[in-house]
Amino acid sequence: MGQQKSSNVVWHESIIKRTDREKLNGHKGAILWFTGLSGSGKSTLAHAVEEQLYGQGVHTYVLDGDNVRHGLCSDLGFTDEDRQENIRRIGEMAKLFADAGIIVLTAFISPFIKDRERARSVAHEGDFFEIYCDCSLEQCEERDVKGLYKKARAGEIPEFTGISSPYEAPVNPEVRVNTEALSVEESVIQVLDTLREKGVID
């Protein structure tokens, strides 16, 4: 999947460069890749970070796992192969957002290290921030916001990450947020501090 199928497709360079867009926006483009188990707080944190950035006049967009599967990836299931293709598509789309000078926040379980590294590899150097929402399986199950763990334990959801399908935690993420111990507000501060340190925002 993801292979170029035609030799007649040629990349067309834009007249307006990324640096022009970033100058217009007043900040750099970036990819904030939130990863973690279901219920670890990825979407909650991504939207909370976006709210703070928006309040500072930063151009943002959140790509949420469930939402994307209603459109761009509605043809994909949850086999390992489909999950890989799901993340490949998101990685390519996130790169376009960053090139447009936008800070794109992606909230996906993205359970496999190699798939997250592939998403990083297509991004420009320094664009990709892996943000690990570190929360124990026990806590995620206790929250069970969507009732998915209960269904997975009952065998109603096959290949469910953390139960019948593995989750490979990041080895060296740009940000590791202990969403089990920290409040949403504290977690947001941790992410924003990293973006300032790296010069993405002022």
Residues with catalytic roles: 110
Nearest to 110 by CA among 51, 55, 32: 32
DSSP symbols for 99-157: HTT-EEEEE-----HHHHHHHHHHSPTT-EEEEEEE--HHHHHHH-TTSHHHHHHTTSS
- SS3 of 88, please? helix
61 and 97 in contact (C-beta within 8 Å)?
A: yes
Structure tokens at 49: 């970070």
Structure tokens at 94: 């996130």
Q: What is the CA radius of gyration of the chain?
A: 17
Nearest to 28 by CA among 129, 176, 130: 129
- Distances in Å between the alpha carbon of 48 and those of 61, 170, 185, 186, 201? 12, 22, 8, 11, 16
